[in-house]
Amino acid sequence: MKKSIVAFLIFSVGFLSVKAQSATQSFDADGIKVIFKPTLKNVVNVRIYFRGGVTNYPARQAGIENITLDAATKCGAGKYSPAAFRDTSDNYGIFTYGTSTFDYGYIQVNCISKYFDKGWDLFSSAVMNPVFEANEVKLLKDKEISNLKDEESNPANYLDKLQMRNAFGNTPYAIDPAGNEETINALTADDLRQYYKTLLNKNKVFIVIVGNITKQEIFEKVLLSFGNMPSQPYTPADLKTPVLNDNKVLTEKRDLKINYVGAIMNSPEFTNVNYVPFKMGITGLSGNIYSYLRTQNNLSYSAGAYTSALIMPYTQMYAATNDLPAVMNGMLKKLKEIQNNGMEDEWLQHIKNIYITWSYINDQSASEITDNLGLAEILGNWQYGEDLPQLVKMVTVDQINKALNQYIVGLRWTILGNPEAIEGFTPPPY
C-alpha cells in the first residue's frame, strides 16, 4: 500500500541506470547461468537466485524458504561458526543476507572490491555449506515470529496479506512467503536442512554479479565454488493469473480508528508489449487518486495505485479513510475517467522527461542494479529489463489508453476496519 508514483519512478529509473551503464552479459559457468555487469564502482554485489518461490513448498510449510535462506547466512556456514561468520562480516564491512518472496528467493553478498575475496568466501560457504545450527535456528525463528506479529499489527501491511488471499485464493500466491506463527514454530533445523537440498540445483539457480571485476575472475570463482552443485531436472510451475472480472468484496473486522480499503485488478505480464504503457497509466492513476482523495476532498491521508511485478502480476488501488463509500466511489471515479477519457500527451511527455532526468542524476547502487537484473530474469528475461528505457521513450497515449481498458475489467475489494463501518457493506458497481 505504500507504493505510488514515486515507487514506480524508482523502479523504472533502476532499469534506466542499468541500461546507461550497459555491457551486461550472460554466460554459462559449468551449467549455472551467470548475468554480469561490470562497473567502475568499488562495491561488488552478488546474488544467487532460487526460482520457484511459493510454488516450492506446501501451505503447511509457509515461510520455510524465507527462513531457510536467512538461516544460511546467520546459523553457521562451512568453516564459520555463527559467531565467526558475524565477526568476519563486521570486521570487513561485508553484508550477507537471504530472503524469499512469491516467485523467488536469493542469498546475496555486498562488499567493497578490496575485500571481495573474503566476501565471496562467506557467500559461497553460505550457499554450499550452510550448517543450520539448532540453537541459532531457534533464535532466528523467534525473531521472525516477532516480526510477523509487528507486521500484522500494522493495518496497511495486514490488508496487503488479505488482498493476496482475496485475489489469489486458489493459487500458490495464497501462501504467505513469510509464513505465520504456526508454520514457523513447526519448523526444525533439520527441516531447513532438508528443504535447502531441494533448492541447490544448477537448473533452478542463476547468479547476478555487479562490480569492478572481470568475467574471467567470476568464471573461475563460480567454477571453483559451485562446480559440485547438483544438477537435476527442473520444470517451473505453470502459473495462470486469475481473471478478475467481477466486483467482489472481502471484509475483516478490526477495532480501528480508521478503515483500510484496497482493490486488486489485473495487469499485463512483464514481457508483454502492454506492460510499460500500462505501468505508466497506473502512475497517472495513482497521482489522480491521491490528488482527488487527499488534496481536493481530504478523504484519505494515504491513497494511490501501483502495479506489482510478479509472474502473476496485479494492480492495486488503496486508501485509508473514515468514509468508505466516498473513498471507494472516488477511486472508481478516477479509474473510470482515465479509462473513458484517456491520458494527455503533455502528461506523458512530462513523465518521460522525469525518467530521462532521473536516469542521469541517480546513480543506482550495485545492489539495486543486481536486484533489477535478477527480477527481470525471474519475470522473463534480464535483457528485457535493459530494453525498458527505450520502450518508455516509445510509449504513446493510445497504447496507455488501450492497455488500461484491456486489463482492468473488474475489481476485488478488500476492507479492514471498524465493524460498524463494514457491516453489510457492498462495493459500488464497477
pLDDT of residue 368: 87
Q: Among residues 91, 131, 111, 133, which one has the least CA distance to residue 47?
A: 111
In this structure, is residue 12 part of a structural domain?
no
Q: Among residues 25, 44, 21, which one has the least CA distance to residue 33?
A: 25
| Domain co-membership, 209 together with 287 | no
Neighbours of 274 (CB within 10 A): 18
Neighbours of 130 (CB within 10 A): 24
pLDDT over 90 (residue 365):
no
| Domain co-membership, 217 together with 295 | no
| Domain co-membership, 206 together with 314 | no
pLDDT per position as a tens digit, 376-408: 999 999 998 778 778 888 999 999 999 999 999
pLDDT of residue 264: 97
Q: Compute the C-alpha angle 281/382/46, nearest 5°.
A: 120
pLDDT of residue 350: 80
In this structure, is residue 8 part of a structural domain?
no
In this structure, is residue 21 part of a structural domain?
no
CATH at 315? 3.30.830.10
Whether 316 and 163 have beta carbons less than 8 Å apart is answered as yes
Amino acid letter, residue 99: T
| Domain co-membership, 259 together with 219 | no
The DSSP 8-state label assigned to residue 312 in this structure reads S
pLDDT per position as a tens digit, 226-235: 999 999 999 9
Where is average pLDDT lowest: 55-59, 66-70, 125-129, 273-277? 273-277
Q: Among residues 194, 198, 63, which one has the least CA distance to residue 132?
A: 194
CA distance 359 to 143: 38
C-alpha cell at 305: 495505485
| Domain co-membership, 266 together with 399 | yes
The mean of the pLDDT values for the chain is 91
**% of the chain residues with pLDDT over 90:** 79
Confidence of residue 410 (pLDDT cuts 50, 70, 90): very high
Which residues is 417 bridged to in the sheet?
253
| Domain co-membership, 175 together with 316 | no
The number of domains in the chain is: 2
Whether 388 and 359 have beta carbons less than 8 Å apart is answered as no
In this structure, is residue 16 part of a structural domain?
no
pLDDT over 50 (residue 3):
no
The DSSP 8-state label assigned to residue 295 in this structure reads I
In this structure, is residue 91 part of a structural domain?
yes
In this structure, is residue 50 part of a structural domain?
yes
Q: Which of 174, 192, 226 is the last residue of a domain?
A: 226
Q: Which residues contact 170 (CB under 8 A, 6 or more apart)?
A: 242
In this structure, is residue 417 part of a structural domain?
yes
| Domain co-membership, 316 together with 216 | no
pLDDT over 90 (residue 9):
no
pLDDT over 80 (residue 22):
no
Q: Among residues 175, 177, 153, which one has the least CA distance to residue 165?
A: 175
- Give the H/E segment covering residue 212: none
Amino acid letter, residue 209: I
| Domain co-membership, 126 together with 199 | yes
| Domain co-membership, 300 together with 378 | yes
Q: Which residues contact 93 (CB under 8 A, 6 or more apart)?
A: 111, 112, 115
pLDDT of residue 353: 75
**% of the chain residues with pLDDT over 70:** 92
CA distance 357 to 362: 9
Confidence of residue 427 (pLDDT cuts 50, 70, 90): confident
pLDDT per position as a tens digit, 132-177: 999 999 999 999 999 999 998 999 999 999 999 999 999 999 999 9
pLDDT of residue 13: 45
| Domain co-membership, 204 together with 302 | no
pLDDT per position as a tens digit, 293-346: 999 999 998 999 999 999 999 999 999 999 999 999 999 999 999 999 988 888
Residue whose C-alpha cell reads 575475496 in the numeric block: 117
Domain, as residue range, for 47: 32-226
Residue whose C-alpha cell reads 523467488 in the numeric block: 104
Where is average pLDDT lowest: 20-24, 108-112, 304-308, 326-330? 20-24
| Domain co-membership, 155 together with 59 | yes
pLDDT over 50 (residue 215):
yes
Q: Which residues contact 145 (CB under 8 A, 6 or more apart)?
A: 181, 184, 185
pLDDT of residue 14: 46
| Domain co-membership, 74 together with 200 | yes
Report which of residues 132 and 368 the model is more confident about: 132
C-alpha distances (whole Å) from 375 to each of 172, 173, 388 are: 19, 17, 13
Q: Is 23 helix (H, G, I), strand (E, B) or coil?
A: coil
pLDDT over 50 (residue 181):
yes
In this structure, is residue 235 part of a structural domain?
no
Q: Is 20 helix (H, G, I), strand (E, B) or coil?
A: helix
